[in-house]
Structure 1
């Protein structure tokens, strides 16, 4: 395959792409995504393009408070961020957007930041919290596993065993056991 046929295939795929959401502009800095209002709070060098955004947008971003888009080599990359103080990791909170742009976006790349004005907030409970135990009336106390061991007679009192101990002068002493069958 030559370069021209590859570019034709990519163009054909892009033409047949159907967006996953209904996205349209509502003024200069407002965007409606599935009838939810987003505000364009930072548009570095006027790079926001509704066509590129609608191709790359996924409905999973509706749960984030902020969507950051950056262009690298002509390709738009999107990332979601949450409000500060939520149960999300620090690298996914609003304060980390500048760090993300400095570390992961190309140097001097164009970017935009959108704020979801109608974010669907995540529940505050975490999967790491322990669930309270249910009291079961049939269960009268928990099962207690006891370790049962057979007590063996002392080495000197065992049958068919010859015991010799070392009389070494070092720190360690050892015992040699031999069976007499």
Structure 2
């Protein structure tokens, strides 16, 4: 695929996304995908309604905070949780400053949106996946015995090679 075709497809996809997620800004409040977000910080006037509409994905609805930074005229979005949630520290809002120092270009414009009504996205699906993972990780005793027997049979079948010296 040549560069021009790729560029055309990207622009077409951006236009489709713009129409899919309509963003309304009223003062410091932003509405998108039935979410109410409040602009907590807007460093260097980074918040742009059109860019948010293009880059937004419904997976961001589960986060308590959404951080957007702009580099090379592209918006990148990352979600953070409240500090009281039981998630990794790097996913909590308390690590925002570390994220900005490590992953965002120095002095780049960014904004922070607080999600007033976060949704639980795919919670039951996540539980089913983790349940299945645990089943795969913990074989029952019968499986353990079968594997042990197979390993001893393999060891018995192995031929020992002796290097003869002349």
Normalised by the length of structure 1, the TM-score is: 0.60
Tell me the residue number matched to 2:102: 103
Instruction: Give the direction of change, closer, same or farther, for the CA distance of 1:45–1:11 in structure 2 (3 Å limit).
Output: farther
* 1:23, distance to aligned residue in structure 2 (A): 2.2
Task: List per-residue Cα deviations over 1:63-117 (Å, max 9, x = no partner).
Answer: 0000000011111100000000212100000101111011100011000000000
Q: Gapped runs of 5+ residues in structure 1?
A: 132-142, 144-181
Secondary structure at 1:84 match in 2: coil
1: CA distance between counterparts of 2:84 and 2:108? 29
Instruction: Give the direction of change, closer, same or farther, for the CA distance of 1:117–1:103 in structure 2 (3 Å limit).
Output: same
1: CA distance between counterparts of 2:53 and 2:110? 16
Kept after mapping to 1: 8 A contact 2:33/2:58: no
Over alpha carbons, which structure has the higher Rg?
A: 1
Task: List per-residue Cα deviations over 1:142-171 (Å, max 9, x = no partner).
Answer: x9xxxxxxxxxxxxxxxxxxxxxxxxxxxx
Tell me the residue number matched to 1:67: 66
Q: Which consecutive aligned stretches of 4+ in structure 1 deviate over 6 angstroms post-superposition?
A: none
Kept after mapping to 2: 8 A contact 1:22/1:33: yes
When the two chains are superposed, the root-mean-square deviation of aligned CA atoms in Å is 3.2
Tell me the residue number matched to 1:52: 51
2: CA distance between counterparts of 1:53 and 1:11? 20
2: CA distance between counterparts of 1:24 and 1:11? 27
Normalised by the length of structure 2, the TM-score is: 0.65
Kept after mapping to 2: 8 A contact 1:70/1:76: yes
Secondary structure at 1:85 match in 2: coil
Task: Map 1:12-91 to 2 at 5 A.
Answer: 13-16=10-13, 17-19=15-17, 20-25=20-25, 27-91=26-90
Aligned residues: 128
1: CA distance between counterparts of 2:64 and 2:16? 25
* 1:18, distance to aligned residue in structure 2 (A): 1.7
- Structure with the higher fraction of residues in helix conformation: 2
* 1:11, distance to aligned residue in structure 2 (A): 4.8
